[in-house]
Amino acid sequence: MRQRVEHPTESATADAEPLVVTRLSVRRVGDGQLVLPATDLQIGAGEVVAVVGASGAGKSSLLHALMGSLPTGLRREGTVRWRGRPIPEGRAARRWRRVHCGYVGQDPILALNPLWSVARLVGEQLSGSRRDRARRVREVCDLLGLPAELANRRGGELSGGQAQRVALARALAAEPDVLLLDEPTSALDGATRGMIVEAVRARQDGGTLLVTHDPFLVSAADRVVDLTLPCTVTSPPALGPAAAPPAPGHRAMPLLTVQGLRVTRPDGALLVDDVHLDLAHGSWTAVLGPSGSGKSSLLYAIVGRRPGQHGRLLLRGHPLSADVRQRDREQRRTVQLVGQHPAGELNPAHRVGAAVARPLAVLHGLDRRDRAREALRLLGSVGLSAEIARRRPHALSGGQRQRVALARALAARPEVLLLDEPTSALDRASGAVVLDLLDRLRADGLAILTITHDPTVAARADRVLHVHHRRLVEGRTDGPLPHTDNRTEESGAR
């Protein structure tokens, strides 16, 4: 498909399309710092426009500026026109958003009522008879590969990938004139990503604007708006150059052992069974599998937030309680998790610097000056500037929040690091910074267990496992993936 790449400085043809954006920019209220450079774009019926750029370039802010939903502390400049008429900020923008827009954010699981059923969530904005609403819900769920059995499941029981598709189904169900999507494939496997592209391309009467780092999704767009800014990521001098993984003899002794672990849903349905893992010093194990197959639930079971129903955990050969509340401080420090939804794990009231510094105070007793200095070093190690430390989570992009969550976990100085889709919200350059950092850390003995759909992440691992028929099986990503029982898509696992 032929694409035209547009840069923010190009002008749009005035009112040639239903939605026309002219010189739209976003600045911080306090210091006037530019968050989004002046951007022009237009979206016509049936068109798909992709927005790309480095993490923190203002892509998510562009969507919120369009909808008039910028968080406190940011202001919009420029104009947004709908069918030739300007949309002012405030009440008019909110009314336009309700009538004409569908939106799926980067953390859709946080936007879904955890107590509502999938059917209720998807049909929330539909009108008409009960039969017509149910038929429309089934249509969009089928379009996105959501099985009928999922309809009665609650929002809080969905995996990250299932929540992403349910949120998209809800947005599609109302057939909006403008569909705004922020990283809509970050938690999805390859086959499911294809369904998303087909669903978006099928919208003949509405336009779609999507923010993405996914080259596959970009290839499906009619036009691309590039917000690329000069890369400002840095690496910490204390770590030095990237080192090779340690020799096999260095990591022969298992640090964390998983024996016969069985993970189930809250209702008792089986997700993965008979899991055996040996995480040695300096090892990197990657687990791949379709959305909803229980990969994230496995991490939660190991870290002790959602204890497994069977099996046992050993830390340095000694029993490790399945419940994190029964682990001592040293055990909690040793095993750290960076989840798939950092927006839900970072306290919105705490500034980034304080969030990263807290483990340094609680677990290591550093004084204020030392922990502030170390927090800045950790932020730098994941490619974030010192200025980020003064912000709160709502003022960060999804990729920046993801890296803050990683920096906070590293502040605990763990020996085992569990990562759930660690690069899903990152551009290629930022992702490489994070992966290079992890390689250096495991050269010092850190054991890593990663859940991912990203082949570049799996390529860094020295062991790759796939979820297959509810078991973990050995495999590499340089060949065809093992066939997975479709029932795993219905698991409702995080």
Same fold: 19-226 with 256-474: yes
- 238-282 confidence digits (pLDDT tens): 433 333 444 444 445 689 999 999 999 877 889 999 999 999 999
What integer pLDDT is reported at residue 252 of this predicted model?
54
- 87-123 confidence digits (pLDDT tens): 988 888 889 999 999 999 988 888 899 999 999 999 9
Q: Which residues contact 220 (CB under 8 A, 6 or more apart)?
A: 1, 48, 197, 200, 201
Both structure tokens of 14: 């005035």
What integer pLDDT is reported at residue 340 of this predicted model?
85
Which one has a higher pLDDT value, 298 or 15? 298
Task: Please name the amino acid found at residue 467.
Answer: V
Q: Which residues contact 133 (CB under 8 A, 6 or more apart)?
A: 123, 126, 127
Closest CA to 473 of 250, 271, 286, 267: 286
Q: Which CATH number fits domain 256-474: 3.40.50.2000, 3.40.50.300, 3.40.30.10, 3.40.470.10?
A: 3.40.50.300
Q: How confident is the model at residue 64 (pLDDT cuts 50, 70, 90)?
A: very high
Delimit the domains of the chain by residue range.
19-226, 256-474
- 353-373 confidence digits (pLDDT tens): 999 999 999 999 999 999 999
What integer pLDDT is reported at residue 82 of this predicted model?
94
Reply yes or no on domain 19-226 having CATH 3.50.50.60: no
Q: Which residues contact 375 (CB under 8 A, 6 or more apart)?
A: 353, 356, 357, 360, 389, 407, 411
Answer yes or no: is pLDDT of 352 > 90: yes
What integer pLDDT is reported at residue 475 of this predicted model?
64
Q: How confident is the model at residue 3 (pLDDT cuts 50, 70, 90)?
A: low
Q: Which residues contact 427 (CB under 8 A, 6 or more apart)?
A: 52, 53, 54, 55, 213, 399
Q: How confident is the model at residue 5 (pLDDT cuts 50, 70, 90)?
A: low
When pLDDT is averaged across residues 123-130 and rounded to a whole number, the result is 92
pTM of the entire predicted model = 0.72
What integer pLDDT is reported at residue 459 of this predicted model?
92
